[in-house]
Amino acid sequence: MATYCVLSTLGDDPHTQGLFRIRRMIEKAGIQCNVLPPGASNEAIFDTIHQQDPSFLGFSYRLSPEVGVKLFRGLLEQLDQRGLLKQRQGESFRRVALAGLPETMNALQDAASTLPCPIWTMAQDNDRLRGASRVLDFFAVHGEPRDLILSDLSAEWFPPRIELLDELAKQVVKDDVYREEPPLAVPSQGARRSYVQRIQESPLPVLRVHFGVPHTDIRPTVEGIKRIAEERVIDEISIGSSDLSQRYYGKPHEFASRKNDGGVPYKDFSDLVAMAEAAQCGNFPSLKPYAHVVDLVGFVQECLKAGMLVGAHQAVPLYWFNELDGRGPMTVPASIEEHIAAIRELVKHGIPTEMNDPNQWSSRWVHDAVFCADYALISAVMSEAGSRDLVLQMQFNKPRETSDFADLAKMTAGLELAKRVISFEPQRPKIWRETRTGIDSLDPDPAIAKWQLARSTLLQMMVRPNIIHQVSYCEADHIATTEDVIDSSKLVRRAVRVFRQHEAELLPYLQHPHVVERKNFLLQEASYLLTEIAALSRHAPPSLKTNAPVESLTPYLADPHALSRAIERGYMAAPGIFHARYQVQHLVTGPNRLGGMDCLNPQTFEQMSERERIARLKDHRANNEPLPSVAA
């Protein structure tokens, strides 16, 4: 008889990476696991538990600790009231695990005796194998299966690395000397109004940061923006918009009856003006908000009137922030059209554009060939929409199993594909390279996390970024405060200077055999996938062949019809997609021994090529079999 587990995030927490990692781990032990989509309601959780009668329940919340404690307690009490904490057969409690930020876990552990059932708290452990052992303890996996799983995980989690980066990162953080970094220069008037000019004038990569204080109003965020500007530590601030702001901006009455799970709850035009005005001091950082999930074009116009997006760039997804990830109400085809319309609106105002799609795919354990192909898709869309300045963001250490060599290979492959695509344009756009650290790779211990952030920055510098999307070292423990942003900026800038002192030793790693071989493999695999996607375009000629050069595919790759069909048919796919219409059964990905993410044959678990993967999808379709809604 099969053993089942149900895992879900709570509230509006979109962070499913940890749950997916747990699922891969316990499926090695033969436990069947159902991960619910982010944003699943409590009713959906109750229905799933009632239908599957699982032995194990796991719930995660990585946003505000105060909200997290209330959500966990409230869910457990409702499960108790409905009789769902115990299995149907017998009177034993299901095992329940809760995961979240350390403060949340500590509060729940202190309150454990007042909860309606025993709980396991799963705080992130800086010893990853010890953390995995605790997970296996929870699932009662012992003996030989446990040893085999830990052996597999050890190989996946500790791939080959560039040891020089370890030593240089120690130099960056030693004795906190980074805190002596001088402030950023005050930009010229022209650079304050032009993101491109700001990049060109800056002696260091331009620093941008996500910032926002979760609160009932915007005042703490306004104060934080002003302080960051006065300290001259950031060039561009991305306002961490709350889910409520992304959905209900301009409708203040909608905020009253809804909880804010995190982010800045700006409600109307006056809030935008207040935040924009707060940045008019110090080094005058530009301000931009998250992309909204409705009326993107109208919101761009509102921001410009308020003084935002001046001297900034704007990030808009291609496939996401809709029904696919539960962050918005639109269908995927409708949102693709709206996102392209938003890019065109930004182009009208001369604002550089970023489609931050690859980051979203890597959050869902996509294999590297699809990740790289996505850079070609977003570059085709932006260039065909008229953008002359493309910002391409590369998130390193994501998933955290990714090795140094694999990161360098997939980022340089993605960049090369993007360059090939835009070479089709008569007036070739300019690519601006942006890098960042994956938060999931950071440790809750600040001393370890500082070293990790320094090391990741050193690695990123090898692709010569024009922009660094700064992550604060504290973010595995808590949402970055103003002081955290200031301190992390100094650390990142110190890492940049240390890199420049040692770049002659580091840059040759771009030609390391691991990097070159993997890059060439990804270019080949992604190119095949791109030709198959281009063939889905209504405008593609019948003569389009699978060996067509990527440079000739640009108009077809930018076709919204082809983009929609690519995800509907499973060409663009990832195991972490939970929407029933877009899940692909038996899509298995996993890290290889060199730290890259491969697509695996679901029977043999050997590496599977894009040619074979697409052929299987076509066979499935030819047999009129719908894509089932359960991912392996």
What mean pLDDT comes out for the span 30-49? 86
Domain that holds residue 95: 4-157
Q: Give the pLDDT confidence score for residue 177 in this predicted structure.
A: 96
Answer yes or no: do 346 and 494 share one domain. yes
User: Is 435 a member of any domain?
Assistant: yes
Q: Does the residue 600 lie in any domain?
A: no
Domain boundary among 490, 511, 532: 511
pLDDT surpasses 70 at 626: no
Q: What angle do CA 575, 578, 582 make, to 5 degrees?
A: 80
Contact (CB, 8 A) for 258 and 210: no
This prediction's pTM: 0.84
With respect to residue 176, please indicate whether it lies within any of the assigned structural domains.
yes
On whether residue 477 sits in a domain, the answer given is yes
Counting other chains too, the contacts that 41-48 makes at CB distance below 8 Å and 24 or more residues apart are 42/75, 42/78, 45/6, 45/8, 45/75, 46/78, 46/79, 46/82, 46/84, 48/6
Beta strands (DSSP E) in 429-538 are 430-437, 467-470
Average pLDDT for 64-77: 89
Least confident of 40-54, 89-103, 378-392, 472-486: 89-103
Predicted pLDDT of residue 123:
81
Using the structure block, give the residue that is written with the tokens 């923006």.
225
**Residue 301 shares a structural domain with residue 395:** yes
Which tokens go with 366? 């996509």
Total domains in the fold of the chain:
2
| pLDDT of 435 over the 90 cut | yes
Whether residues 42 and 147 share a domain: the answer is yes
Give the distance between the most distant pair of CA atoms in the chain. Answer: 73
pLDDT digits (tens, 9 = 90+) for 560-604: 999 999 999 999 999 888 788 998 978 889 889 899 999 998 878
**Whether 338 and 293 share a structural domain:** yes
The segment with the largest mean pLDDT, out of 73-82, 245-254, 275-284, 355-364, is 275-284
User: Are 108 and 196 part of one and the same domain?
Assistant: no
Q: Report yes or no on 629 lying in a domain.
A: no
Where residue 73 falls among pLDDT bands split at 50, 70, 90? Answer: very high
134 shares a domain with 11: yes
Residues 409, 337, single domain; the answer is yes
Whichever domain contains 115, its CATH number is 3.40.50.280
User: 231-256 burial, b for 16+ CB within 10 Å, e for fewer?
Assistant: bbbbbbbbbbbbbbbbbbbeeeeebe
| pLDDT greater than 80 at residue 630 | no
**Are 143 and 187 members of one domain?**
no
pLDDT in tens, 124-150: 777 888 888 999 999 989 998 898 888
Pair (57, 198) in one structural domain: no
For the segment 253-303, what is each residue's pLDDT rounded down to a tens digit?
Answer: 888 878 776 789 999 999 999 999 999 999 999 999 988 999 999 999 999
* Cα three-residue angle 39-44-45, rounded to 5 degrees: 90
What's the CATH number where 195 sits?
3.20.20.240
Q: Of 480, 511, 542, at which residue does a domain stop?
A: 511
Instruction: Based on the fold, state whether residues 133 and 204 are members of the same structural domain.
Output: no
Round to whole Å and give the CA distance between 422 and 431.
9
Say yes or no: 396 and 502 in one domain.
Answer: yes
Residue 439 lies in a domain: yes
- Within a domain: 242: no
Looking at residue 192, its pLDDT comes to: 98
pLDDT of residue 632: 28
Task: Flag the least confident range among 193-197, 210-214, 514-518, 568-572.
Answer: 210-214
Averaged pLDDT, 55-79: 89
Q: Are residues 323 and 470 in the same domain?
A: yes
pLDDT band, residue 629 (cuts 50/70/90)? very low
Confirm if 191 and 201 have CB atoms less than 8 A apart.
Answer: yes
Examine residue 103 and state whether it is found in any structural domain, yes or no: yes
Domain ends where: 466, 485, 511?
511
Alpha-carbon torsion 221, 226, 227, 229, what sign?
positive
Give the pLDDT band (50/70/90) at residue 624. low
